[in-house]
Amino acid sequence: MGTENIPVDFLMTKLADAKTHFERALDCKHTDFDDLYPYMIEHPQFFWYKRYVAWSELLTIVKLCQELEVDWHPQFTQPQIEYISKRVMSSTVLDCWYETNDSKEHVS
């Protein structure tokens, strides 16, 4: 296929946004999802669902990058690349997305 009509910078921006969205969901911080479904905060399954939505968004952008032959790997660590390649949001992904829990990698 190729990226004749879609600028690579655009895809990289969307990928960075999706990564940030997922990391904010992991960290239980405010995301656009909170604005769409404010009543969900009262439900215990909210944070799981919020993470699932963010993970799905990230996988979708990665899939588009792959189909358009845009290298998405540089924005992620090797373990994160492996999680994304497996496509399954497991407890390992949730617990180990950041290399250490005291890392300064957490989004602000």
Q: What is the pTM of this model?
A: 0.81
**Owning domain of residue 73:** 47-101
Residue 5 lies in a domain: no
Q: Is residue 41 part of a domain?
A: no
Per-residue pLDDT of the chain (108 residues; tens, 9 = 90+): 555 678 999 999 999 999 999 999 999 888 887 777 777 777 777 788 889 999 999 999 999 999 999 999 999 999 999 999 999 999 999 999 998 655 455 555
Q: Does residue 33 lie within any of the structural domains?
A: no
Q: Is residue 95 part of a domain?
A: yes
For the chain, the domain total comes to: 1
Taking a C-beta distance cutoff of 8 angstroms, is the pair 84, 38 a contact? no
Q: Contact, 81 vs 73, CB < 8 A?
A: yes
Task: Assess if residue 85 is contained within a domain.
Answer: yes
Residue 20 lies in a domain: no
Distance CA(1)–CA(28), nearest Å, equals 37
The two tokens of residue 52 are 């699932």
